[in-house]
Amino acid sequence: MIYNVTRTDRNIDQAVDQLVGKPFGFIYKLRNGSIGSEPFVIYASSPEFNIDFDSQDYGRTCNLELRPNGIILHFRKKASSFIWPISFDHLTIQQFDNLFLIQGKTLFTKLKPKVKSKKSSPFIKKIIDSKAAFRLIV
């Protein structure tokens, strides 16, 4: 489910924390490095994202955030901020050349690195490793 988080809503925060876990603490970030990705450009997405790819009114950039039980895709549309939390149980990541396909339960998005020289994202590898570790625990 895609949430509009332009204004703080505790019900949304609780639902997201329940789905993908609470944000990592400061000590974890120091030990393990970044929990946020480099910027990506949304190349294509499910109709539920309601993104007009022909419009130049807003950038189609997004970032990924790693959480203990999943990831959150953050993106903006005009003056609004949105998130799409995905638990590791429903997350599928595929790479096609310089394009990443991220699928949740019923939604998908295709991302390209904003920096054109990057062939693969070290953060995507970190997500895949975290997902594998999650499966060993569960």
d(CA 89, CA 20): 10
Give the tens place of pLDDT for each residue, 27-67: 988 888 888 998 998 888 898 888 766 666 567 889 999 99
H-state helical runs in the chain: 10-20, 26-32, 122-137
Q: What percent of the chain has pLDDT over 90?
A: 46
Average pLDDT over residues 75-97: 91
Q: What is the pLDDT of residue 66?
A: 95
CATH number of 3-137: 2.30.29.30
Assess whether pLDDT exceeds 90 at residue 93: yes
Assess whether pLDDT exceeds 70 at residue 127: yes
Assess whether pLDDT exceeds 80 at residue 69: yes
Q: Domain coordinates of the chain in residue numbers?
A: 3-137
Assess whether pLDDT exceeds 90 at residue 128: no
- What is the pTM assigned to this prediction? 0.88
d(CA 108, CA 91): 10
Give the CB-side neighbour count of residue 110, counting CA atoms within 13 A.
Answer: 11
